[in-house]
Amino acid sequence: QSALTQPASVSGSPGQSITISCTGTSSDVGSYNLVSWYQQHPGKAPKVMIYEVSKRPSGVSNRFSGSKSGNTASLTISGLQAEDEADYYCCSYAGSRTFYVVFGGGTKLTVL
Amino acid sequence: EVQLVQSGAEVKKPGESLRISCKGSGYRFTSYWINWVCQMPGKGLEWMGRIDPSDSYTNYSPSFQGHVTISADKSIGTAHLQWSSLKASDTAMYYCASSSIPAAGDDAFDIWGQGTMVTVSS
């Protein structure tokens, strides 16, 4: 199972909005509404920002939103803030007969 | 507070064995699957496998099946990831993670350990 495809980097200025794409296949992203997004700051453990394509866990800012179309999921961050600068990983359920999840390669977000 | 606390960093030689741990606290340990995720230096996340602490049933990624063993001891609320023969390519940060979000799938990892860095070098 190959990793999901994400852009290596994206950037934006404070206050702007950015979108990170996550492309999979009909065996993972395209088949299940089980896409999650993780934020990881340097030297820290990942933190879930979005699960089940578009749901936000308690405590996550509503500036973060998720969507999906076909085999591609997207994470949008609106009103960019300096603290949003981090690596972002998408993750999709990909199991057919057994539990399996696959991560994307990660996207480095730079806030200019 | 619900948390996962992992054992400390390890430095090993190729061919040696190793077991690292992940202890749950603040919740009933058998309530959530424990997943293991690795991250090689400067690289992305990769799911390795998971265990149901209530009965020790496991799922493994094909990439790690046969190379690592995931186990759990519910009596002490601890899961383990072990290698019988380490390789230099096993050098990575290893995280344990669980999904505790009500009504969410098992793939929404909202609880993470702090990570255990494993360095394998001769």
Q: Which residues of A touch B59 (CB under 8 A)?
A: 98-100
pLDDT tens string A40-61: 999 999 999 999 999 999 999 9
Q: Which residues of B touch A46 (CB under 8 A)?
A: 37, 45, 95, 97, 109, 112
Write the Ramachandran bin of A106: left for phi over 0, alpha for psi from -120 to 50, otherwise beta: left
Distance from CA of B24 to the nearest CA of A (A): 16
Residue A55's SS3 state is strand
CB contact under 8 A, B47 and A45: no
Q: Are A87 and A107 in contact (CB under 8 A)?
A: yes
A31 contacts chain B (CB < 8 A): no
pLDDT for res B28: 94
CB contact under 8 A, A99 and B115: no
pLDDT for res A82: 97
pLDDT for res B106: 87
Give the integer Cα–Cα distance in Å for A39 and A108: 10
A61-90 residues touching B, CB cutoff 8 A: 89
Total beta-carbon pairs less than 8 A apart between chain A and chain B: 67
pLDDT for res B79: 98
**pLDDT tens over chain B, length 122 residues:** 999 999 999 999 999 999 999 999 999 999 999 999 999 999 999 999 999 999 999 999 999 999 999 999 999 999 999 999 999 999 999 999 999 998 888 889 999 999 999 999 99
Q: Is A1's pLDDT higher than 80?
A: no
